[in-house]
Amino acid sequence: MIFKRRDPKPTLRAMAEFMWPRGGWTRAFHYVKHRMRRLPDTPERIARGIWAGVFTTFTPFYGMHFIVAALISRAMRGNLLAALMATFFGNPLTYVPIGLSSLSMGHWILGSPMVEGEHRSFGGKFFDAGHDLLANFIAMFTSQTADWSGLAAFWREIFYPYLIGGIIPGIICATICYYLSVPLLRAYQKRRKGLIKAKFEALKKKAAAKAEAKRIAEQEGRDHGSAR
């Protein structure tokens, strides 16, 4: 295949780079920021895409953040690529505080108690829900009995409180990112247009100088021929 790596990356190395990219998360952040600034769209549309991507990271739809961000961005008429890149606001360094703050907020809003030890089994309940879905799908074609207890506990203790609790911090963080992004993007695009215009003017002057030099050379050639 054309895009297949010549040296396949080992699984452990791929997992390690997911948790900590080459050059660190600071370098990854600057890369994403640089790519966003160069998107060919208005600052407002790009910022709306950023809003959608950042807000999406506060939802419990793990594995579907790209889809959710794209749908929200489309509804807001934001930039799609900006929305997809902004989902990197959620990463292995931020998912724990995002998840726990959203979950705590959700239980507080709903008035439901936090189950003892729930924080320690946060990932375990995601696993239990996935296991139930797979086991019950298999049960449809076998004699096994479907068991929805893990999925029910996941919905009651994790998913629904997370979904409700993530709305407020999600809106706050996404709105902050929006209002920070618009002036920065506008200033960058203005500066970039100025640089492009200056470069274009320099090229025009260079082309004019070459044309003038060519004209002078041709004129000197004709004058030299007439003198003969």
Q: What pLDDT digit, counting tens, does each position of 139-149 carry?
A: 788 877 777 77
| pLDDT tens per residue, range 75-104 | 999 998 889 888 888 777 788 889 888 988
| pLDDT tens per residue, range 51-64 | 999 999 999 998 89
Residue 223: its pLDDT value, please? 63
> Do the beta carbons of residue 85 and residue 36 sit within 8 Å?
yes
Residue at 1 is within a domain: yes
Who wins on pLDDT, 152 or 164? Answer: 164
Please list, in sequence order, all residues whose beta carbon lies within 8 angstroms of the beta carbon of residue 14, skipping any fewer than 6 positions away: none
155: domain range?
94-165
Residue 71 has pLDDT above 90, yes or no: yes
Residue 35: its pLDDT value, please? 65
| pLDDT tens per residue, range 207-224 | 777 777 777 777 766 666
- Regarding whether 59 and 17 lie in a shared domain, the answer is yes
The single residue listed with the structure tokens 């594995």 is 63
Question: Hey, which bits of 130-201 come out as E strands?
Answer: none
- Regarding whether 37 and 66 lie in a shared domain, the answer is yes
- Regarding whether 43 and 26 lie in a shared domain, the answer is yes
- Regarding whether 84 and 1 lie in a shared domain, the answer is yes
Mean pLDDT calculated for residue range 200-213 = 75
- CA 30 – CA 39 distance, rounded (Å): 15
- Regarding whether 114 and 48 lie in a shared domain, the answer is no
Q: In the numeric block, which tokens belong to residue 153?
A: 């506990």
Residue at 213 is within a domain: no
| pLDDT tens per residue, range 5-40 | 455 555 445 444 444 455 554 555 555 555 666 677
- Regarding whether 177 and 72 lie in a shared domain, the answer is yes
> Do the beta carbons of residue 111 and residue 55 sit within 8 Å?
no
* Number of independent structural domains in the chain: 2
H helix or E strand, kind and range, residue 51? helix 43-56
Please list, in sequence order, all residues whose beta carbon lies within 8 angstroms of the beta carbon of residue 90, skipping any fewer than 6 positions away: 56, 57, 58, 65, 98
Who wins on pLDDT, 184 or 11? Answer: 184
Residue at 35 is within a domain: yes
- Regarding whether 7 and 120 lie in a shared domain, the answer is no
Burial of 31 (0-12, 13-18, 19+ CB in 10 A): middle
pTM of the model: 0.68
Domain boundary among 147, 165, 183: 165
